[in-house]
């Protein structure tokens, strides 16, 4: 079978594009920490938050932070409870001289019995923690850093027009190539003169570029959609006009048209007949965005992408015959396709679910878009998008004029993805294989949901509904920006225990699913 050279990206589809700005450097991430509480018991009568610190002090050797530095370096930044599971989840962040360490977040979990179960996350190794206070003082300003990034971006794409988001520069301690750097992290995010979103790490001492990588890889009216199906959706009447503006969900769902330009968000789609919406691409984008919102609301009680009612914006007709779609951190945009290989990219519910789930990930685990964390980022978007569509195990088949899928969760190797960790791609292409290696976690999810025997390991399926609940719980409570496949395994097992019990068949099946794909 002929395979389409197209892959879902974090907010983009890739068709034969240079990845020089997105080449990942394996080994760049902070070391992972997975610490089980096992038989550890807190001092009786200790308040819940103090139990966290008592546990951390008990594990100082594993954490590689001295007891005297624990409270200076680690700070609790979030606490969440899960009523159904009866669990409590804390998120912490590491600081050096009051400067956050990029990606150094940890999660600690307390079960319904009040016992800590585990710590997951990443920390800056002790040999890089010896920053002197004077070394933690930047020599350039945030504005200087933004100007460095803008100059580099304009060297690549020409003069930048209006940014999709106003750039800002935040100070971090950043581990790169075995060295801790004081950097400003900033992003250049624009579609003028062409879609471009790159994250920059600028040396706060001399303004040089320490690292950069692309986040946009060159990867109740009625109406008829691209595939000819009639859809019903919410609109808003303003005078004699109707707008593709749903005011019933969160802070609204709006659908715009770019009129084949590169302008976001564009113009709100309107009609004088609420029952005859003729813009098929806009009909699909609007109706499917509503379905994605409803999936997260009804299944997880999540109010939009950020959990706080964030307005969902979609723009159709981006560019002329544009063969891509992307999430830019603020909204989703769709090209119309060339009509030969691809139709309008808003025509597939799974695609829209995939892209909008990047927004959910952005507001929860915020998985780094490189190497193993990036592969998990892509896989979770596949898992949620495929589950929202709930029609087989192929991904993206409705976008292709010829009906070819882009990926298979049942058989990743059919589309040149590995289905086992032993075949992990470790090269620099594709941000370290974020779309290549996503097949490993996709296969684990498929086995968990459907069951089956893979590489000699038999997994008992638990059903898609229960499986997707486990992965959502793991995403929102356990994973941190630098999570790897081993962390994903622990997170999914622990999520299953939270939701279904320590000795549940669901937890046992998660364990077997990751055995089957070689993740330990």
Determine contact, residues 324/346, Cβ cutoff 8 Å.
no
Is-catalytic flag, 454? no
Which one from 355, 372, 378, 466 is the annotated catalytic residue? 355
**Residue keyed to tokens 């898992």:** 383
Is-catalytic flag, 97? no
State the Cα–Cα distance between residues 471 and 356, nearest whole angstrom: 16
State the Cα–Cα distance between residues 72 and 290, nearest whole angstrom: 45
How deeply is 22 buried, as exposed, middle or buried, from its count of CB atoms within 10 A (0-12, 13-18, 19+)?
buried
State the Cα–Cα distance between residues 392 and 60, nearest whole angstrom: 47
The neighbouring-strand residues paired with 176 are: 179
How deeply is 45 buried, as exposed, middle or buried, from its count of CB atoms within 10 A (0-12, 13-18, 19+)?
exposed
The neighbouring-strand residues paired with 221 are: 233
Exposure on the CB side of residue 304, measured as CA atoms within 13 A? 18
First to last CA, the chain: 33
Residue 132 phi/psi, 5-degree rounding, is -80, 150
In degrees, rounded to 5, the angle at the alpha carbon of residue 12 between the alpha carbons of residues 404 and 333 is 100
Helix (H, G, I), strand (E, B) or coil at 443: helix
Helix (H, G, I), strand (E, B) or coil at 473: helix
Which one from 435, 454, 473, 477 is the annotated catalytic residue? 435
DSSP state of 453: E
List the structure tokens of 469.
Answer: 């609940």
Give long-range contacts, CB 8 A cutoff, 24+ apart: 163-166.
163/188, 163/189, 163/190, 164/189, 164/190, 164/191, 164/197, 164/264, 164/328, 164/329, 164/330, 165/189, 165/328, 165/329, 165/330
Q: Is the torsion defined by CA of 494, 496, 500, 504 positive or negative?
A: negative
Name the residues annotated as catalytic: 355, 435
């Amino acid at each position: 079978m002929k395979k389409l050279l197209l892959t879902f990206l974090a907010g983009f589809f890739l068709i034969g594009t240079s990845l020089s700005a997105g080449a990942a450097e394996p080994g760049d991430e902070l070391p992972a920490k997975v610490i089980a509480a096992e038989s550890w018991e807190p001092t009786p009568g200790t308040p819940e938050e103090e139990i966290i610190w008592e546990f951390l002090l008990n594990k100082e050797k594993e954490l590689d932070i001295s007891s005297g530095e624990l409270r200076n370096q680690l700070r609790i930044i979030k606490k969440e409870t899960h009523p159904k599971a009866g669990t409590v989840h804390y998120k912490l962040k590491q600081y050096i001289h009051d400067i956050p360490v990029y990606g150094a977040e940890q999660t600690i979990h307390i079960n319904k019995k009040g016992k800590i179960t585990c710590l997951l996350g990443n920390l800056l190794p002790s040999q890089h923690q010896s920053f002197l206070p004077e070394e933690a003082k930047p020599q350039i300003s945030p504005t200087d850093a933004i100007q460095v990034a803008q100059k580099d971006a304009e060297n690549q794409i020409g003069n930048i027009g209006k940014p999709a988001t106003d750039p800002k520069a935040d100070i971090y301690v950043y581990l790169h190539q075995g060295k801790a750097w004081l950097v400003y992290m900033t992003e250049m995010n624009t579609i003028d003169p062409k879609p471009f979103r790159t994250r920059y790490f600028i040396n706060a001492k001399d303004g040089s570029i320490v690292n950069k990588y692309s986040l946009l890889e060159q990867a109740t009216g009625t109406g008829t959609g691209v595939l000819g199906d009639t859809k019903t959706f919410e609109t808003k009447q303003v005078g004699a006009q109707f707008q593709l503006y749903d005011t019933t969900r969160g802070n609204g769902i709006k659908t715009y048209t770019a009129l084949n330009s590169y302008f976001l968000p564009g113009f709100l789609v309107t009609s004088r007949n609420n029952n005859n919406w003729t813009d098929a691409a806009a009909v699909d984008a609007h109706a499917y965005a509503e379905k994605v919102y409803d999936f997260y609301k009804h299944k997880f009680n999540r109010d939009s992408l950020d959990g706080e009612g964030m307005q969902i914006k979609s723009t159709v007709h981006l560019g002329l015959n544009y063969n891509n779609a992307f999430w830019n951190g603020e909204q989703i945009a769709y090209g119309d396709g060339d009509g030969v290989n691809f139709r309008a990219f808003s025509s597939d519910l799974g695609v829209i679910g995939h892209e909008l789930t990047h927004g959910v990930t952005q507001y929860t685990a915020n998985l780094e878009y490189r190497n193993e964390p990036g592969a998990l980022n892509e896989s979770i978007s596949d898992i949620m998008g495929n589950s929202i569509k709930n029609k087989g195990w192929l991904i993206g088949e409705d976008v292709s004029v010829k009906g070819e899928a882009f990926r298979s969760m049942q058989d990743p190797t059919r589309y040149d993805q590995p289905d086992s960790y032993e075949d992990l791609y470790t090269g620099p292409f594709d941000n370290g294989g974020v779309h290549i290696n996503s097949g490993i976690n996709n296969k684990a999810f498929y086995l968990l949901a459907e069951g089956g025997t893979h590489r000699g390991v038999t997994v008992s399926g638990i059903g898609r509904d229960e499986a997707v609940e486990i992965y959502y719980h793991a995403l929102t409570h356990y994973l941190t920006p630098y999570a790897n496949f081993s962390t994903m395994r622990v997170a999914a097992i622990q999520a299953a225990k939270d939701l279904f019990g320590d000795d549940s068949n669901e937890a046992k099946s998660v364990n077997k699913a990751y055995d089957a794909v070689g993740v330990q």
